[in-house]
Structure formats: structure tokens, C-alpha cells
Amino acid sequence: MDSIDLRLLVQLGVIGLTFFMLINASALLVLAERKFMGFMQQRYGPYLVGPHGVLQPLADILKLLFKEELRPKGADKWLFTLAPILSVTAAFAAFATVPWGAETTLFGLLDEPIKLGVADVNVGVLVVFAITSMGVYGIVLAGWSSNSKYSLMGGLRASAQMISYELSYATALAAVIMLAGSLSLREVVDAQQGTWLGFLSRWYLFVQPVGFIIYIIAGVAETNRAPFDFPEAEQELVAGYNTEYSSVRFALFPQAEYINMVTMSGVATSLYLGGWHGLLPFYTPLDPLIEANGLGWLVFLAKVGGILFTYIWVRWTVPRYRYDQLMQFGWKWLFPASVINLIVTAALMLYVLNA
Amino acid sequence: MPETLVFYVLSGLAILASALVIGQRNPMYSVMLLIASFGALAGLYIQLDAPFVAVAQIIIYAGAIMVLFLFVVMLLNAPQEDAADWDRTHPLRQPGIARFGALLGLLLVVQLGWALMRASELDVPVAGRVDAETIGSVRQVGRVLFTDYMFAFEATSILILVAMVGAVVLARRETDQ
Amino acid sequence: MDGWPGVVIMIALGVGFAAVMIGLSVLLGPKNPTPEKLAPYECGMPAVGDARERHSVKFYLVAMIFLLFDIEIAFLYPWAVALRDLGWPGFVQVVTFFLILAVGYVYVWRKGVLDWGPVARATRAAARREAA
């Protein structure tokens, strides 16, 4: 009886920790984005609050807490508040099925190993997909309920963009699912353990390079980030769907965006970069050491961090596209490419299996 | 016991949300409540050990069809259902249409009854069957869908094709003018 | 049921977090609205008309096409998981399915549903010239 209670407690602790780390991740990413942007533009970025400005996000959220909540005349009272709640909830929940570490007994504390991650569901990939698609409503509702022309345009654009790119990334993911033969993210990660030919890490990146590129591009569009940040293109739409928002209700939208970035990177790491297996693309003597000591979650974090840095890097390097270019690129290039990638992968896989 | 409690909470939520969908005057609220109802339904599917159906319910119904509904509501720009329109002249109040609706409802009841009569293994709960492990798994769904129900699957593609052409034809008529 | 309570807990935590944050800001923030503050933002000018105007039928069309391809993807996942067992017959079935859908895709493309902005205007103008 005692060990069951302890197990449940540890499980709840893991969920709580994941939640807490997601909140921290969104704060850290705001700081990281501003710092990297500063360095790329040859200035310091935030510098005043705390050493080198590391406490800036804390100051920001405290300031926003003490700001006035404004709701424009003619806005829908309930939907206006529901929209940010929906956005942020979908962002948190989408991370629920992403595993972030191998099974561990916590240095012998537990009799049976526990899985590091909120929930291990046998249709994990589809759950991420389903919950992400719920995030669209937060943005559409924000745009519609504000009763402002900029908000409405931003919300419409965002939803059309998100649904268009959802097709591409879902098709790209299907190819990996086919190779692994499982929809559980944990099983897909464990299928990538070991090496090919003795030196190349067994990442699906090497068999699905096109799929990986499609996924990353669609991921940028899904999270509404530059160069695809049309829902909030400031030259055209002021701030897009969150034009009329102020105070904490405003802050929740960027927070949802940053958490979605973390989820996107987490899924990319699990499906293409081997999750917690294999620190580098090739075999290093460190790999068995990491596996033996249960430090896989550090590897996972490092890879997620790398992808997140790429997101930020791209944002401050590439100029914004035009909206019509974005929609045409998604429908006429990315989607057909992902379908062809899937069919070619299927044919190759069957050929290799039957040979 | 907790399983039964979860079942009652979820089905209560689904029924309440569906009832409110009809009761609402604001179509935007109706759309949101319908999404909530679909969410509760997905929870029920998970309880039935059919996670794939649950997730497909969210992805297709709550994620795609409701986005379409939302766009239609926004396209028609009908913030409130006008009470004055809801009189004898409303098209849905015509006796012919009302009778047709009643007939459809009756047909649904007959269909449901027929389906329930035909289902042979209803008295055995899924968890108690020999093949309980695989019955709801996605792999099993795929295996059955692409062997036994091959024709239905291919027919779906024709249906989708027709729907695509229909949508374009209906929408283009308006833009060409 | 394995693992699903975790998803539910995560959703509950998300709703709770958002509600507490909004509640805190309502408690802590000042409240002195003026008509100017409450007007929807329109670049400093007084707002004209209602924002909820009719918008392009384009968005409806994109949602419709998305819905149809989304159904295709829902079929794709069980196929992808079971492909090992299905072998080449399963492959042929899905390729047939894709080919039929490709007819629709080409039709939609040729009708200009996938064109936006200047390109769409140019194709419409060309179609009008052809008709005249």
C-alpha cells in the first residue's frame, strides 16, 4: 500500500514539475528572445533588472498584473475572457503526452521504474495534434469578440494559416509513425535507440530529412512566428488578434505562443532527433554513460533548446513573407511535398522489409 | 465506482451542452457549446477504450468541422438570432418541412433500434472479451479498415471529391457576379 | 485508460493557472475607464461602423478544403501504423485513394481556390478576358 501511494505521489510530482517548468520556459524564452535579438542587432537587450537583466520576465509579469483590464465597447464579455484561457490551456495540455526522459527509479527510491512525462498514451502523437488544433479557437475568438477590425482580420488570417499548415505537418508526422509502427511518442523515441553502421545515431532525421524540414517550417507557421507572423503583422494589423487586449489577458497569448514553441520542439526532438537517446548525430563514448546514469532528460533538454534557438535565430534573420505567398506556399508546395514524401517512404519501407 | 461517476459527469456534460446549443440565441455561443459537447463525447469514447475514435472526434469534428461552422457564422454575420423572424413565415415553420423533419427523426429512432437489435455482443463488456487488448487499438482499426472495409474506404474518396467540387461550385457562383 | 488522467490534470492546471492570473489582475489593476479607452483601436481615428462585417468567401472555402483533407489524414494514421501488416495491397489502396483526391486537388487548384491576393486577381481578370 505504501509503495503505491509513494508512486502516485511521484507521478503527481512529475506532472507538477512539468507544468511549473513550462511556465518557466515561457518566461525564459521571452528573455532569451530579447537577449539573442539584442546580440544579433549589436546591443545588449534587457540589462537593468537583476544581473544582465535576467529578472526582466519577472518584472514584466508583475507590471502586467498591475495594469488596467480594458474591454472595448461592443466586445463580447464572456468570449473575450474565454479566448486567452482557451489559448493557454490548449498550449499546456498539448505538452501532456510529450515524454521528456527515460524510465527511472529515482536512484532506487521506487521499486518499479516510473516514466518521466505527464501521460503516456498509446495515441500520443494524435493527442498533440488534436489539442493543438483546439488552440485555433482561442485566436479566432479573441479576434471575433474584440469587435475591432484589426482583431477580426488577424483572427481570420491566423485560423486560415494554422489549418492550412496543420495538414502539412500531420502528413509529415505520419511518415515517422509508419517507420516506428506506433503512435506512442515514448515508443517512437525508444525505436531510435542505438546506432546505424556503428557510428551514426539512429535518428529518424537521417531517414526523414524532407519530413523534418516540412515539420519545422509548418511548426513555425503553426506557432505564428516570423517569417510567418501574419496574425500579428504590426505594419498591417497593429497587433492582430490581440490588439484590444491589455494586462494579464494580453500576456497569456504570448505565453501560449512560447509554450507551443516548446511543444513543437519537444515533438520534433522525440520524433526526429531521438529524444533522450544519442547526444550528437554520431556515436560518442558519452552515450552509454548518459544512459547508464539516467541523465537522458538532459540530452532531451539540450536538443529542445537547440531547436528553440533555431526558432529565435530564424525570427531575427528572415523578413516577413506576404500573406498570399504564405497560403500559396502551404497549399501548393508544402502539402504536396509532404504527401509525396509519405508515399515514397511507404514504398521504400515495404521494399526494404520484403527484400 | 469512479468509472461510473466519470461516465455520468461526461454524459451529463454532453447532454447539457447539446441542450444549450439549441437554447442559445447567439450562434457564436452555440458553436462553442457544441465543441464542449464533442469534448465530453471524446471522453466517453476514451472510457470505452476507443482512443482513436476519441482523438478523431476531436480532430475532425471539434477541430475541422467547427472551424467551418465558425467561419460560416462569421461570414453570415448573424450576431443574434432575430426573434421577430421566428414567426409563421420562417421557412422551418412551413408544415411540409416540419413534417419532413419529424419523418427524419422517426427514421433515426428506427435505425438506432435496428442497429442495437443487431449488435450481438452488447451484453459482454469490451474489457471482458478475449480480444479486448487489440479491439480498440489503432493498428487493429487500420488492419480491418484496409482489408474488410476496403470498398467503403475507396468510396469515401469519391465522396470527398464530390464535396470538394460542390464547395467550389457553390462559392464561385457568388464571387463571379 | 492508462495515462489519460494526466492529460485531464494538465487541462485543469492550465485552466486554473489562466483563471488565477486573470483574477489577480482584476483584483490588482486600477479601474477607471473612459469612452476613449473603451473605443476599439482604429489608428487614433474614431471607429467607423461595426467590425463584424461580412468577409471574403475565401476563408470559408479554405476551411472546407481543409476539412476534406483532414478526413484523409484521419484515415492515414491507422494505415501508417498498420502498413507493416498490410503490405503492398495496403499501399496500392492508399495510392488509389490519393489519386482520386488528387483529381479534386487539381480541380481546386485550377479553379483558383488556392490563389490569394494579386495572383488571384490576375487569374480572375484573365478568366474574364477569356469569357468576353
Where is pLDDT greater, at B39 or A242? B39
Residue B106 has pLDDT above 90, yes or no: yes
Burial pattern B117-126, b for ≥16 Cβ within 10 A else e, equals eeeeeeeeee
Using CB atoms, which residue from C65, C66, C75 is nearest to B153?
A: C75
The span from the CA of A292 to the CA of B36, in Å, is 45
Q: Which of A244, A165, A173, A256 is nearest to A212 (CA)?
A: A173
Query: Cβ contact (<8 Å) for B28 and A79?
Result: yes
- What is the average per-residue pLDDT within A59-87? 83
B110 — pLDDT class (breaks 50, 70, 90)? very high
Per the prediction, chain A carries an average pLDDT of 83
The widest CA-to-CA distance across chain A, in whole angstroms, is 69
pLDDT of residue C45: 63
**Which CATH number do you get for residue C42?**
1.20.58.1610
Hey, which of A255-269, B163-177, C117-131 has the most confident mean pLDDT? A255-269
The predicted structure's pLDDT at residue B176: 47
What is d(CA C18, CA B163) in angstroms, rounded to the nearest whole number?
Answer: 40
> What are the CA-CA distances from residue A139 to residues A54, A82, C122 (Å)?
30, 10, 31
Which residue pairs from A28-35 have beta carbons closer than 8 angstroms and sit at least 24 positions apart in sequence? A28/A57, A29/A258, A29/A261, A29/A262, A29/A308, A29/A312, A30/A56, A30/A57, A30/A60, A30/A254, A30/A258, A31/A56, A31/A57, A32/A308, A32/A309, A32/A312, A33/A312, A33/A315
How confident is the model at residue C23, as a pLDDT? 86
For residue C81, which residues of chain B lie inside 8 Å, CB to CB?
Answer: 138-139, 142
C contact test, residue of A63, A73, A133 with most C CBs within 10 A = A73
Residue B62: pLDDT band with limits 50, 70, 90: confident
* 3-state SS, residue A255: helix
**pLDDT tens for residues B63-93?**
888 888 888 887 776 555 555 555 556 666 6
Q: Subunits touching A (CB < 8 Å, at least 3 pairs)?
A: B, C
User: What does the longest C-alpha to C-alpha distance in chain B come to?
Assistant: 62
Q: State the nearest Cα–Cα gap between A40 and chain C, in angstroms.
A: 31
Output the domain CATH number for residue B69.
1.20.120.1200
**Contact (CB, 8 A) for B67 and B34:** no
Which is nearest to C103 in space by CA: C131, C68, C76? C68
Q: Is A129 on the interface with B (CB under 8 A)?
A: yes
Q: Cis omega (within 30 of 0) on the bond before A227?
A: yes
Whole-number pLDDT of residue C130: 73
Largest CA distance in chain C: 70
Closest approach of B27 to chain A, Cα-based (Å): 12
pLDDT digits (tens, 9 = 90+) for A79-120: 888 889 998 999 988 888 888 877 777 666 667 777 777 778
Q: Where are the domains of chain A?
A: 3-354
Residue A156's closest chain B neighbor by CA? B71
Which of A36 and B175 is assigned the larger pLDDT? A36
Would B52 be classed as within a structural domain?
Answer: yes
SS3 A111: coil
Is B177's pLDDT higher than 50?
no
- Region A220-243: mean pLDDT is 74
Residue B37 grid cell: 459537447
Looking at residue C54, what DSSP letter applies? -
Q: Does residue A132 sit in helix, strand or coil?
A: helix
Across the interface, do B75 and C113 touch by the CB < 8 Å criterion? no
Residues in A touching B139 (Cβ below 8 Å): 181
Q: CA C111 to CA B167: how far, in whole Å? A: 11
Residue A245 and residue A176 in contact, taking contact as beta carbons nearer than 8 Å: no
- What is the per-residue pLDDT for B72? 80
* 8 Å CB contact between A191 and A180: yes
| Residue A329 CB contacts under 8 Å (≥ 6 apart), including other chains | A321
Candidate ranges A60-74, A235-249, B148-162; pick with highest mean pLDDT: B148-162
pLDDT at C1 over 50: no
Cα–Cα nearest to A152, from A78, A233, A242, A221: A242
pLDDT tier, A231 (very low <50, low <70, confident <90, very high otherwise): low
Q: Which residues in chain A touch residue B32, judged by CB atoms under 8 angstroms apart?
A: 79, 82, 137, 141
Chain C positions touching B71 (Cβ under 8 A) are 59-60, 63
Q: What's the pLDDT at B108?
A: 93
How many domains, in total, are found in chain B? Answer: 1
Using a pLDDT cut of 90, give the percent of chain A over it: 5
CA distance A7 to A3: 6
Work out the end-to-end distance of chain C between its first and last CA atoms, rounded to an integer number of angstroms: 64
What count of residues does chain A have? 355
Contacts of A159 in chain B (CB under 8 A): 67, 70-71
What is the spatial distance between Cα B21 and Cα B32, in angstroms, rounded to a whole number?
8
- pLDDT higher than threshold 80 for residue A139: yes
**Structural domain range at position C27:** 5-131
Q: What is the ipTM of this complex?
A: 0.82
Q: Mean pLDDT throughout B143-149?
A: 82
Q: What was the pLDDT predicted at B107? A: 94
- Does the structure show a pLDDT above 80 at B129? no
Number of domains in chain C: 1
User: What pLDDT shows up at residue C123?
Assistant: 67
Percent above pLDDT 90 for chain B: 11
Answer yes or no: do C52 and B142 touch at CB < 8 A.
Answer: no
**pLDDT of res. C52:** 65
Question: Is some CB atom of chain B closer than 8 A to the CB atom of A28?
Answer: no
Are C72 and C100 within 8 A, CB to CB?
no
CA-angle at A151, arms to A145 and A153, nearest 5° = 115
pLDDT band (50, 70, 90) for residue A12: confident
Chain C neighbors of A70, CB-CB under 8 A? 33, 37-38
Interface of B with C in 126-165 (CB under 8 A): 138-143, 145-147, 150, 153-154, 156-158, 160-161, 163-165
pLDDT greater than 70 at residue A306:
yes
User: What residues make up the domain containing B46?
Assistant: 1-81
pLDDT at A322 > cutoff 70: yes
At B97 the pLDDT is 82
* pTM assigned to the model: 0.85
Q: Are strands A114-116 and A195-196 parallel, antiparallel or unpaired?
A: unpaired
In the numeric block, the cell 509554450 is attached to A259
Which residues of C fall within a CB distance of 8 Å from A165?
Answer: none
Backbone angles phi, psi at B34, to 5 degrees: -65, -40
Do A271 and A188 touch, CB atoms closer than 8 A?
A: yes
Give the mean pLDDT of B123-143.
66
Put simply, whether A56 touches B (Cβ < 8 Å) is no
Q: Determine which of A222-236, A299-313, B107-121 has the lowest per-residue pLDDT on average.
A: A222-236
| Of B133 and A205, more confident | A205
The C-alpha torsion from B118 through B120 and B123 to B124, rounded to 10°, is -140
Position B117 scores a pLDDT of 80
Closest residue in A to C6 (Cα–Cα): A119
